[in-house]
């Protein structure tokens, strides 16, 4: 009996799904949602393996090179992990460091090998910084969503088990907590500092206000970059997914004592 081999022909949809796991570190949104994926091409078959080429674009030519490298590198890793992919080329278009980044990626030089003495920052620390910001923003969104339904809720005493189910609020917060290694059980406090410690209840309102400023900054940057991209690349708005329903274009109003 002849063994039936699995069909490992790679589709563009599978590649785009893999790219959807890559998040712009500053905007906290998948690069597929914000329209940063310019094109995807797949060639080959299940027998020989598929060659994938991806082109990325950014809102300006002067976006920070370290952010650009993170996205290109993460995109390369994500697509390489798709079953049936034999080779991957990810290139960044129209950036002032495109040639340098693309050569470095092709040669497998890594960030420091590509940028040399200019690569002073640790990309691990940069990534961690934005993961903490993403968690803070998600924490504020979840708390504010609850305050909208119950303004009298005790924010300082709130636990994860008190939060209602929701893909764009509670589930998103749990994912970001897991990334940071913070507890995700129902008894864990919702309002915490970056290290997971609970603030003094008397400081709860101040901590929430600071979290709100982080969330507004993250959401504002995402909205701004979406607009810049569509200005730079007319028609690219068709490649952008609608913003999550918990991220309105205008920031929430902050009033004394509670969030509206």
* Domain-wise residue ranges, the chain: 12-118, 123-259
The DSSP 8-state label assigned to residue 189 in this structure reads B
pLDDT for the residue 258: 43
pLDDT for the residue 166: 82
pLDDT for the residue 79: 98
d(CA 148, CA 165): 15
Transcribe 59-104 into DSSP letters: SSTTS-HHHHHHHHHHHHHHHHTSTTEEEEEEEE-S-TTHHHHHHH
pLDDT for the residue 165: 86
pLDDT for the residue 117: 81
pLDDT for the residue 256: 44
pLDDT for the residue 7: 59
The DSSP bridge partners found for residue 259 are: 254
d(CA 210, CA 214): 7
Q: What is the mean pLDDT for each group of 10 consecutive residues in the chain (260 residues)?
A: 60 97 94 98 88 98 95 98 96 98 96 86 88 96 92 95 87 95 96 95 96 95 96 97 65 43
- Which residue in the block uniquely carries the two structure tokens 């607009």? 227
pLDDT for the residue 229: 98
CATH homologous superfamily for 12-118? Fe-S cluster assembly (FSCA) (3.30.300.130)
CA distance to 23, 152, 162, 210, per residue, from 145 (Å):
23, 13, 12, 17
- The two structure tokens encoding residue 3: 């063994």
- The two structure tokens encoding residue 220: 């504002």
pLDDT for the residue 45: 82
């Amino acid at each position: 009996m002849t063994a039936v081999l699995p069909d490992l022909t790679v589709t563009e949809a599978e590649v785009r799904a893999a790219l959807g796991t890559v998040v712009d570190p500053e905007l906290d949104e998948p690069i597929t949602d914000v329209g940063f994926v310019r094109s995807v091409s797949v060639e080959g078959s299940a027998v020989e393996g598929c060659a994938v080429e991806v082109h990325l674009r950014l809102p300006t030519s002067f976006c920070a090179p370290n952010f650009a490298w993170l996205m290109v590198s993460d995109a390369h890793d994500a697509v390489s992990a798709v079953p049936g992919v034999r080779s991957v080329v990810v290139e960044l278009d129209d950036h002032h460091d495109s040639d340098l980044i693309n050569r470095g990626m092709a040669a497998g030089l890594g960030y420091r090998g590509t940028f040399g003495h200019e690569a002073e920052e640790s990309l691990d620390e940069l990534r961690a910084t934005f993961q903490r910001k993403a968690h803070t923003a998600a924490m504020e969104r979840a708390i504010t969503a609850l305050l909208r339904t119950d303004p009298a809720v005790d924010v300082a005493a709130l636990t994860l088990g008190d939060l209602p189910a929701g893909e764009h609020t509670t589930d998103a917060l749990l994912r970001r907590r897991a990334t940071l290694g913070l507890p995700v059980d129902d008894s864990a406090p919702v309002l915490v500092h970056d290290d997971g410690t609970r603030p003094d209840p008397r400081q709860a309102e101040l901590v929430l206000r600071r979290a709100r400023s982080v969330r507004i900054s993250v959401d504002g940057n995402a909205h701004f970059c979406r607009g810049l991209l569509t200005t730079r690349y007319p028609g690219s708005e068709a490649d952008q997914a609608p913003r999550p329903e918990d991220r309105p274009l205008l920031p929430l109003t902050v009033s004394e004592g509670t969030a509206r």
